[in-house]
Chain A
Amino acid sequence: MITDWYYTSDELENWIVDSTQFHFEMVDQNGITREFLNRNNQHYFSGGSSYFAGIKYSKSEREYYYQQFSSNYQDSYNISINPALNSYWGEQITFYLNDLHFTYDYLFDEVINIETNGHYEYLRINSDGIQGDSLFGSKFKILDRFEVDNHWYENVFHFHLEDFKSSWNEFTITDVYYAQNTGLLRYEMNNGLVFERVRKD
């Protein structure tokens, strides 16, 4: 039986940080510091099977990376990466931070699902691409560089939430900045609080 192997690219794997970034602090504009600590790291292949008339005719193995962090004030975020699946969908980054969750797909260059404050929506995708014409208002962009605490970081994704505004509360996270090889850099809440990573010397 044929096994199809789907691997994450080196470029995608740069969103997963090494142990030098497992412990860091962030501070908000009121000077309140919080510490983030790595809790969980996973790397494995997830198996799948294809059947015809009840007979298995192929297997697949998809590479999967996952990292989770939490703060002393009970914030929690995690990031996972998935490889592309033929031309059906592209490489994907899935990110959770407290009540916010989204997935970005490289092939469509779009956010394909979002969840916040109990509201969840996803784009319907089939072999013809994204179905329907209602894309999210929220945006995902990869910046060449971004400055935090007088330091420039390269290859930073910026997610900006625009959807489900009627359900937002003061602590709803509206913006996330995350750098390759470093991790979470900055996030902003609906009440104007901004949390920035403190650079380790």
Chain B
Amino acid sequence: MKNRYLKYLAILFLVPILQACPPVFCEPKTINYPPLSEETLSFVPYKDGDSLLFVHSGGTKIAAHCTRIKTRESDGCSECCTQNSYEIDNTTITFDYPISEFIINLSSFDSVHVELYVFFNPSSINYPVGLHDMIKDSMLIDGKIYTQVYTLPFYSQSYYSGEYFRLFADSLYYNSAYGVIKICMSNGEYFTRYED
């Protein structure tokens, strides 16, 4: 009885101590995931400094320029035993017009799965399962035939004050030869790549 009482008392004092202090037997380490493969990087055809042209459904041509950088990011926490270090390939298309930037991020945690993140405010696309699961097709878009076209639905929105935007990008036509082919807005407007 006395031993059981002492055991409970010991647990009562140990629990707050264990919760407050970092694990005693953990040696912090960083897991370095492999760099993004050339095959993965080739999904995005843009190069840093590229000049692009798009046309709005109303007929206005809009110039844009590209920046593309690769960085290594870490996640984890100061009390955790491990931190994950992984590469992110970021492509940002900045339009010479007062509309949002278009962002494409590729990141990878192994040699098989690639996480694709696309953002055009307030919409985003997040494919954590990998590019191999996305279906591609040949399509006629605005009078031009494109092959290996991915049709990607934007399915996420920023959430402001309990209301969602009713005007947002709702789908993206994309292939790895040309990049962004067409961005469709929910009100029927669209932006299509344009070649002089």
Which residues on A are within 8 Å of B, measured CB to CB? 22-23, 25, 30-35, 37-40, 70, 72-75, 171, 189, 193
Contacts and interface: CB of A to CB of B under 8 A. Distances in A.
21 contacts: A22-B163, A25-B167, A30-B59, A30-B60, A31-B59, A32-B56, A32-B58, A33-B167, A33-B189, A35-B165, A37-B163, A37-B165, A38-B161, A38-B163, A72-B122, A72-B167, A73-B98, A73-B121, A74-B100, A75-B98, A171-B98
Nearest 5 pairs between A and B by C-beta?
A31-B58, A35-B167, A30-B60, A73-B99, A72-B165
Interface string B123-163: 00000000000000000000000000000000000001101
A178 to B, nearest CB: 18
Most central of A39, A73, A189, A193 by chain B CB within 10 Å: A73
Contact of A32 (B60, B121, B165): B60
A72 B163 contact: no
A70 B160 contact: yes
B60 to A, nearest CB: 4
B29 interface: no
Interface residues of B, number: 21
A193 B58 CA distance: 15
A30 B122 CA distance: 21
A25 B58 CA distance: 17
A154 to B, nearest CB: 27
Contacts of A72: 100, 121-122, 165, 167-168
A37 B98 contact: no
Contact of B167 (A34, A171, A193): A34
Contacts of B98: 73, 75, 171, 189, 193
Contact of A73 (B100, B160, B166, B187): B100
A168 to B, nearest CB: 14
Most central of A37, A39, A189 by chain B CB within 10 Å: A37
A193 B99 CA distance: 12
Contacts of B100: 72-74
Contacts of A23: 163, 166
Given A39-B161, A72-B100, A193-B98, 14 more contacts: A22-B163, A23-B163, A31-B56, A31-B57, A31-B60, A32-B99, A35-B165, A37-B161, A72-B122, A72-B165, A73-B99, A74-B100, A75-B98, A171-B98
